[in-house]
Structure 1
Amino acid sequence: MEPLLLQDMRRIFLATLLLAGLSGYAQDYLPSATRITQTVNYLASDRLKGRGTGEKGGEKAARYVKQQFAKIGLVPGNHDMWFQDFTFDRGKHTGLKSRNVIGYLDNGAAYTIVIGAHYDHLGRGGLFDGKYPVGQIHNGADDNASGVAGLLELARYYTENSERENFNFMFIAFGGEELGLQGSKYYVKHPVDSLANIHFMLNMDMIGRYNPERGVGIGGYGTAEEWPAIFKGVTGDVKFFTDAAGKGGSDHHSFYMAGVPVLFLHTGGHDDYHKPTDDVPKLEAVAEAGILRIAIELINRAMGYQKLNYAEVK
């Protein structure tokens, strides 16, 4: 039998371990650099061969996102279906098939926040008419496996944080972005719910190559009357700057043109953009987790308003 003092010390030690474990478990919904890396490792692996539209790798990526949405606890967001299939033409390439992946968090609210990122990349370059090296795998770790990782982290946060927010959430992984924003263009023409019921749309495209001298750019600052007030006093572990524009070369553009306020997170261009060298070892996962924490603060602040008022950027 142990002396009483030793027993007490052991009980205190075990209780401390238990509380630490419970605390760690309770915070598991916060953005995680480890999970971000795991997601990017899969999506940007050679086995997916660059996630090309109409290629098996792109189809695998869409199924992966669907599986992760279901695992997190979302429900199918397209009238009880996970996928929103569509076809499109691009130049001499006709009848191309792709799909959006849509997960939904129903909080019984009147309005919905849309959070998006495109999952496709260049594949092996075959649909780009020689613009990129044909036959070489373009893994697209930053563009845009990093954005999909962010999409999944935000889905986890709002599903598992034990809060019932006063907005619904729709999480969309867009297909066909690299071929002309095809997935988001299709969605705004065939929305699951009226576009008038969208509070705002947040888009993440290339958020994995943080440069501390530049910071992360947050576009769309001018697309809602309320954004300046929402941004006031926001700080984080990473540096950021704002840009008024709602237009741009990613999927938020489609929503802005349809009259929806937007935000766009982007860590900027780099020498590996649209090259086979955009690979996982260059990912800045810890910084990406910091970017997502800023996104969460902005989303939470925006939920303090009943509905954002769209503003056209001059």
Structure 2
Amino acid sequence: MTTLAQVERPLSLFAEGIAGRYFHIRDLSERNNPDEGVSEASHDAFSLYLPGSIDYFSIAASNAATYRWLVLQQLGFREYGTYRFDIIQARRECADLREHGLPNQHRESDLELLFRHFEYPVLARKLFSLLEAARIEAAVLRHYPGAIPYRKRLQHKFNDDYNNKSDEVGVNGALKTLQGFLNGVPNARTNLTNFVNPIHDAEATVYTSVQATMDCYQALAHLIESATESADVFDTTDGPPMEWLQRQVRLEDWQDDLESMNAQLAAFELADDAAGEEVAMGETEGDGTIRETSTDMVRER
């Protein structure tokens, strides 16, 4: 078993090297909603939340590599455009989305406005979260091929997790099957394959995930109605909702932009002050004429 405390320092440096800024490395139990069901990792604008320990493998180095894989996954949401999602651009690129009126806007994030296009926003959020996570994983593996062995080592765990939970039915059953398929579980078969395959393309963007969400949502409509009529309850998205994270990340980006502009203004002010001092010094150096040598100075020589 490998504990988070054992690898916290190198993980922090690893995350900083990838993201170009410092992230706190915290235990999953330190999240604001620790009682909510979670997967292996979560994040917010300032911290990465990871398991307190990992014992998937008997070799400590393999467990440590799993921690690095989780860090890459979580940072991928920032690196590959999840939080740059723009609802106006989404409506331009997704014709199905334009069939719905744009919800009234107050102070919601763009992702929250996306989910409000759906009659059942909880399901839309869950679908988008699964699909976007799969897109991010594919992007991480393309850009960081050294992470491929980390991911391959985890396949047996994904297989076991799916086979232990695959007896669910209804909407949750369909979502579990979809998640298994996206995780590469061999016996996870879904009729949504054609809808989700585009998210693995190298050109896929967050808007590809939006289109896939629309397609999958429409395909599961009959299950949605059945679940609504029964006591079936949708599982919620693990960790903080993406729309809240987008708002948090954008606020951080605005603060960074403001600090950058303040630094530029300070640099301009320093440059102006320096130029003023040079002018003042030049004005006190005289008219540049040759000084006459007095007879007294000649005698001294």
Give TM-score, length-normalised by structure 1: 0.30
Find the structure with the greater CA-based Rg: 2
More helix by share: 2
Give TM-score, length-normalised by structure 2: 0.31
